Amino acid sequence: MFYQENMYEALRFGDVLRGFILTTPKIDEPIGVAEHKDYIINVSLPAFSVVLSPCCSIRDKIISLAPLIQLYGTFFDNPYFEKDLTNINRKMIPEQTVSPQIWGEFPEEEKQKRLQEGLQYALVNLFVYERHDFFPNYTIHRREHTRETDYYMIDFRHVYKVNCDKIITPENAPLDCKCLQLSIETRKELREKISSYYGRTPEEDKVLLES
């Protein structure tokens, strides 16, 4: 079960909300202390956002969110993803991380390297939300065909902060904006994947840590 049927009267990590604006600053380069530089603040109202603050950190008029966005059409080139788009949320064997065509084009050395790594996430920055009646359908255009879907996803690179005077604690918050709550199992998957996203060790650090 992806979503919990009976929602708590509180905001939780992974909840789907509506009504929160998204702001994104855009600059050409960092702004120096003594320099004047132009910048743009893009403001939009996503149809839905997802809570990415840990449950115990939803307080003090601050919350972290990420907008729900449409899937990439390339997901449907991979039969393992197409079978169940939420497979993207979990670790998988190396052959399942890419389409059969791409796997077949890898040099044998690359295949062996990936096989030695074992189970892994294919798209470490993405988490797919299962379809729901709340979500509008949209069309994905591919060269061979078009496809209708109402699955959405979040990208951990798109996390942003909102200051909201009514968010005092998870329970003392504007709960009328809450649309969906993840099941305990799904919330665990989200927690594990975002932890993996932030917990990756760079190759140059591995050399020093393993020496």
pLDDT digits (tens, 9 = 90+) for 131-153: 999 999 999 988 778 889 999 99
Q: Examine the pLDDT at 209 and tell me if it is beyond 70.
A: no
Confidence class of residue 203 from pLDDT cuts 50, 70 and 90? confident
pLDDT digits (tens, 9 = 90+) for 72-130: 999 999 999 999 999 999 999 999 999 999 999 999 999 999 999 899 999 999 999 99
Does residue 36 surpass a pLDDT of 80?
Answer: no
Residues near 7 by Cβ (< 8 Å), separated by ≥ 6? 178, 180, 181
Both structure tokens of 181: 């709550």
pLDDT at 206 over 90: no
Would the pLDDT of 198 be above 70? yes
- Of the candidates 72, 64, 47, the one whose C-alpha atom is nearest the C-alpha of residue 132 is 47
* Structural domain spans, the chain: 16-31+38-200
Average pLDDT over residues 26-55: 87
Binned at pLDDT 50, 70 and 90, residue 56 comes out as very high
Average pLDDT value for residue range 14-35: 87
Confidence class for position 57, pLDDT limits 50, 70, 90: very high
CA angle 7, 9, 10 (to 5 degrees): 100
How many other C-beta atoms can be found within 10 angstroms of the C-beta atom of residue 156?
Answer: 17
The DSSP symbol for 166 reads T
**Six token digits for residue 21:** 């604006």
Instruction: Please say whether the beta carbons of 173 and 166 come within 8 A.
Output: yes
pLDDT score recorded for residue 1: 95
Alpha-carbon span 182 to 55, nearest angstrom: 12
Q: Summarize the confidence of residues 48-62 as an average pLDDT.
A: 96
Mean pLDDT calculated for residue range 159-184: 97
Largest CA distance in the chain: 56
Report the relative pairing of strands 146-149 and 138-141 from DSSP bridges: antiparallel
Give 208's pLDDT tier (boundaries 50, 70, 90).
low
pLDDT exceeds 80 at position 205: no
HSE at residue 37, side-chain half, CA atoms within 13 A, is: 13
CA distance 142 to 155: 22
| Secondary structure letter of residue 133 according to DSSP | T
Mean pLDDT on 58-78: 96
